Amino acid sequence: MPTIYYIRHGQTEWNALGRFQGSKDIPLNDLGREQAAHAGVVLKDLLARHGRTHRDVAFVASPLGRARHTMELVRSQLALPPTDYALDDRLREIGYGDWEGFTLPEQQADHPELFAARLTAKWTLAAPGGETYVEVQERVRAWAADLTGDTVAVAHGGTCRALMVALGLDTPDGVSELPIQQGAVYVFSPDGVETFS
């Protein structure tokens, strides 16, 4: 298994407000830009500690703007051309369908039965018009299977959780409510997942 240096995009205003983003293209806020630059510093240190340079890893991001902007700020910390990286749609965030733009309390008030069901079946139950985590797990499993070497990936919290399950490093119950840090680097390796911030 190649090593994956996984970075969640920096904060957006919708993150700060607790709104479901999913496929919506919400830009980074000021804190998000700081977090992205910090993740670049952490990554630079990790690559040096692992005896690697930028030439030893591929760079790929989700096509959503918040992930692309984060990748460009990360690459700037490595003194690399900001836009010289690949995009892979399989890394996009879980689609929340009709819930995008709303907060959890709003969904709980508007759809109490669905909200209650999702609390006990988060991995298998989709928001109306959205995806299940099972579907996301399958697309990130396919993405990881295609990797040919160590990779820096910038994507989302949902895809990070799904990747943990897809690689057999955790269970749906173990990651369903796991917070995924912004400004950190998650290192996926045959030994498990480590977080560096």
Residue ranges covered by each domain of the chain: 4-196
Q: Which of 72, 93, 100, 131 is catalytic?
A: 93
- Structure tokens given for 120: 């006990």
Residue 16 has pLDDT above 90, yes or no: yes
Query: Using one digit for the tens of pLDDT, what is the confidence trace for 53-106?
Result: 999 999 999 999 999 999 999 999 999 999 999 999 999 999 999 999 999 899
Rounded to whole angstroms, the Cα distance separating 115 from 133 reads 15
Residue 151 has pLDDT above 90, yes or no: yes
Could you tell me if 60 and 91 are in contact, meaning their C-beta atoms sit under 8 angstroms apart?
yes
Among 101, 88, 96, 197, smallest CA distance to 153 is for: 88
Look up 93 and say whether it is catalytic: yes
In 32-139, where do the E strands start and end? Answer: 58-61, 86-87
In sign, the C-alpha dihedral spanning 31, 34, 39, 45 is negative
Q: Which of 9, 38, 69, 156 is catalytic?
A: 9
The pLDDT of residue 188:
98
Which residue type is seen at 157? Answer: G
Could you tell me if 51 and 150 are in contact, meaning their C-beta atoms sit under 8 angstroms apart?
no
- Structure tokens given for 89: 């749609």
Could you tell me if 159 and 94 are in contact, meaning their C-beta atoms sit under 8 angstroms apart?
yes
Give the CATH architecture of domain 4-196: 3-Layer(aba) Sandwich (3.40)
Look up 54 and say whether it is catalytic: no
Q: Which of 35-39, 57-61, 62-66, 121-125 has the lowest mean pLDDT?
A: 121-125
Percent of the chain with pLDDT over 70: 100
Helix (H) or strand (E) holding 7: strand 4-8
Burial of 44 (0-12, 13-18, 19+ CB in 10 A): middle
